[in-house]
Amino acid sequence: MPMPPVAKRVPRVDVLHGETLRDDYAWLRDKDDPEVLAHLRAENAYTDAVLKPTEAFQAALYAEMLARIKEDDRTVPFRRGDWLYSSRTEKGKQYPIYCRKRSLEAPEEVTLDLNVLAEGHPFCALGAAAVSDDGVRLAYTIDFTGFREFTLYVKNLATGALEPDRIERVASLAWTADPAILFYVTEDAAKRPHRLWRHRLGATADELVYEEPDELFRLGVARSRSLAYVFAVSGSHTATEARWLRAAEPGGPWRLIAPRERDHEYEVEHGTGPGGDLFYLRTNGGGRRNFRLVTAPVADPSPERWTELIAHREDVMLENVDVFAGYYVVQERVDGLPRLRVTELAGGATHHVAFPEPAYEVAPDANAEFVTPKYRFRYQSFITPLSVFDYDMASRERVLLKRTEVLGGYDPTRYRSERVHATAADGTRVPIALVRLKDAPRDGTSPMLLTGYGAYGLPYPVTFASSRLSLLDRGVTVAIAHVRGGGELGKRWHDAGRMLAKRNSFTDFIAAADFLVAERYTARDRLVVEGGSAGGLLIGAVLNLRPDLCRAALLRVPFVDVLATMLDESLPLTVGEFEEWGNPKVRAHYDLMKTYCPYTNLAARAYPAILVKTSVHDSQVMFWEPAKWVARLRTLKTDDHPLLLKTNLDAGHGGSSGRYDALRELALDYAFVLGQLGRAPAGT
C-alpha cells in the first residue's frame, strides 16, 4: 500500500524574536475539519496495511498476555469507617466493579460498576471518588471522552439511585463532616483547575469559595486522613499555597498555612503530637531542595512556628509522608531507591523498612484509617509481581496480604534484575535498571527495549508487568534509563534536566544507550528505544541528535512540537509548564528550545523504523503534535524504514480505557518491536 499523501495547505507563519517560524502542517490542528479526520484514518489504514503480516502474531501475543492474567480477581479490602472497600474484575468485562462489605463474611454491596456506566460509550474513566462520612452517599466523577472532562455525580448507596446533582468539569472533590455538603474544584477553558465551590446536595446554585488567579497555579481540594480538616491547595511546578478548614465547620473561614513564595513547595497533613493538633509539612523552602519534615500548631501554622522533625539532606529525597494517630511514615529515596522510615510519635523511635532487590518500587496502598497500628504498602520489581503488605509499625512484622497471581507457571528464578550506571559527558552517573533472562548472553547479541522519561521530577517506576514476559521470554532485555529531569536522585536531579538544562535528559539517554552497547548488553542493530508523553519528547529529540543510535523507536502520545505548543497559552498545561520547559517568548528559553524541539529539528537524514501512537481526544499532548511530526518526517527522511502513525479515535492520553482493548493495543506495539528485533515468527 502506498504511503498516505502528505497534504500541504497555506502554511502558518509566525515571527518571534526576529525569526520566522513556518509550519506547513498547522492545518492538522482542526479535528473538526473532515480532511483532518480523513488524514488520520488514511494513516491508520496505512499502518494496518504495513502491519497486516503481523496480525496473527498480534493475536497470539494478545492471547498469551491474557492467559497470564487472572481475569476474575479482587483487590485487598481496606477499612474506612464501618465498611471494607475493594474492587473486583470479572472475566469478559472491561472495567472494575467497586464494592464494599460490613465484614469479610457479610454480603457484598456494589457501589459503582464501571461496566454498566460504560455501556454505549467507547471510553470510560473514573476520576475522583469519595464516600460521605455516614457511608450513605458516593460522590464520583466520570469522563466518557478521554479528554479528561469529568462530570460529578452523587449516588445514594442506600437506595442505589442517583441524586439530581450534576456538575461539569470537576477536577477534585472532598466531603465535609456534614454528609449534605461537599467541596469541589472546577476547570477553566484551558483545563486549569481554578475555582473552589461549596455545594449542598440538591442545591441549584453553589457558593464560590476561592478562585486561583495565577495561571501558573492549579487548585485542588482534599480531606485529611483524620477527617478533621479539608485542605485547598494551589500549586505550580515550583511553589505551593495551602489553606485549611475544619471539616465540621463547612461554612467557616479558610485559613492560610504559608503564603506562596518562589521555589517553595510544601504538602500538608494533619496529626497529633505534644501540645495537641499539629499540621505535618513536607517543605523545601529556603533552598532545601530535597525537602524536610516539620510540624506546625494548628492554632498558628505560620512558618516561624515550625518545628523540624527530619532535617534536609542533600543525598536523601523526602518524597511523601503519611501521618497516623500514633506514627508517621516517610517515603524516602536514597541513591535512586525508595525506602520507608517509620517513627513512633510517643517516644520518637525511628526505624527503616528494608527491601532486598537491586531495583524495585515501593508506594503507599490504601491507608484510609487514622487510628491504626498498621501501614499498608505496595511492593514490586521487574521480577516480583505487585505485592500488598500490612506492616505493623510497633512489632515491625510484615504480612503479605496478596501478590498478584501470574498464571501459566511464572518462575521468577528465570530472570535477572540489575542496576548499572552510565557516565554522561559531564561525568554524571546515570542509573539504569534492567531485567533479562538469567542465561541471556552478554556478547552483544541480545536485543533490548530501552525506555526513559526524565521530566517533572517524576521517578520512572521499576514495576512488574506480566505482559513484559512476552518480550523477556523471547530474549529481549528491558531497560530503563533514569535520566536527569526525573526525580530518581531528588530535586536537584530534576533541576538538572529542566528549563535551560533540558538537553541533559537527551544526552543522558544517549550515554545510557552507548554504555549498554559498549558493555555488550545489546548492539545498535538490536536496540529499540521507547518513550511516552514527555518521554516521547525525549525519544524525538534523541532521534534527531543520534538517528544511528538504534534500530527502531516507539513513541506513545509524544510531546514533539515543543515550540508551537509552548507558544499557545490557550492549550491545557501550557502556562503552568513554563516552569518545566520554559516560555519561548523569553529569548533564552526560545534559543534553547529550538535546539531540541523534535518537530523543529527534523532534517533530511536516515531515521530508524518508527511507530507513533496517539489518541484524538488527548488533552495533555494534542493529537496534532505526532500527526504533524509524522507528516513532516515523511517529506524529509532519506531511508526506506517504516514510519507508522496509529491514532485511537475513541480515547485520550492513556489510550483505551478497557483492559482488553488496552491489551490489544499493547500486542500491536510488541508485534512491531519484536518484528524489528527479529524475534517475530517468520513471515511477519
pLDDT in tens, 432-452: 999 999 999 999 999 999 999
Written as nine digits, the cell of 493 is 536531579
Written as nine digits, the cell of 536 is 516521547
Q: Among residues of the chain, what percentage have pLDDT more than 70?
A: 99
Mean pLDDT over 643-647 rounds to: 98
- Asked if residue 607 belongs to a domain, the reply is yes
Catalytic residue among 505, 653, 656, 669: 653
Written as nine digits, the cell of 615 is 489518541
Indicate which CATH number applies to the domain containing 637.
3.40.50.1820
Written as nine digits, the cell of 252 is 467557616
- Asked if residue 330 belongs to a domain, the reply is no
Q: For 233-287, write each residue's pLDDT tens digit.
A: 999 999 999 999 999 999 999 999 999 999 999 999 999 988 789 999 999 999 9
State the Cα–Cα distance between residues 479 and 502, nearest whole angstrom.
Answer: 22
Q: Among residues of the chain, what percentage have pLDDT more than 90?
A: 96
Residue 505 bears catalytic tag: no
Catalytic residue among 199, 618, 619, 657: 618
- Asked if residue 59 belongs to a domain, the reply is yes
Which residues have C-beta within 8 Å of that of residue 470, sequence separation ≥ 6? 61, 64, 65, 670
Number of structural domains in the chain:
1
Catalytic residue among 86, 226, 446, 533: 533
Residue 589 bears catalytic tag: no
State the Cα–Cα distance between residues 629 and 543, nearest whole angstrom.
Answer: 12
Q: For 367-408, write each residue's pLDDT tens digit.
A: 999 999 999 999 999 999 999 999 999 999 999 999 999 999
CB-based burial, 34-49: b 16+ in 10 Å, e otherwise: eebeebbeebbebbee
Residue 682 confidence class, pLDDT cut points 50, 70, 90: confident
- Asked if residue 291 belongs to a domain, the reply is no
- Asked if residue 601 belongs to a domain, the reply is yes
- Asked if residue 534 belongs to a domain, the reply is yes
- Asked if residue 129 belongs to a domain, the reply is no
Residue 470 bears catalytic tag: no
State the Cα–Cα distance between residues 344 and 330, nearest whole angstrom.
Answer: 12
- Asked if residue 239 belongs to a domain, the reply is no
Q: What is the pLDDT of residue 1?
A: 63
Domain enclosing residue 577, as ranges: 12-66+409-676
| Residue 227 predicted with pLDDT over 90 | yes
Residue 3 confidence class, pLDDT cut points 50, 70, 90: confident
Handedness of CA 97, 458, 649, 683 (dihedral sign): negative
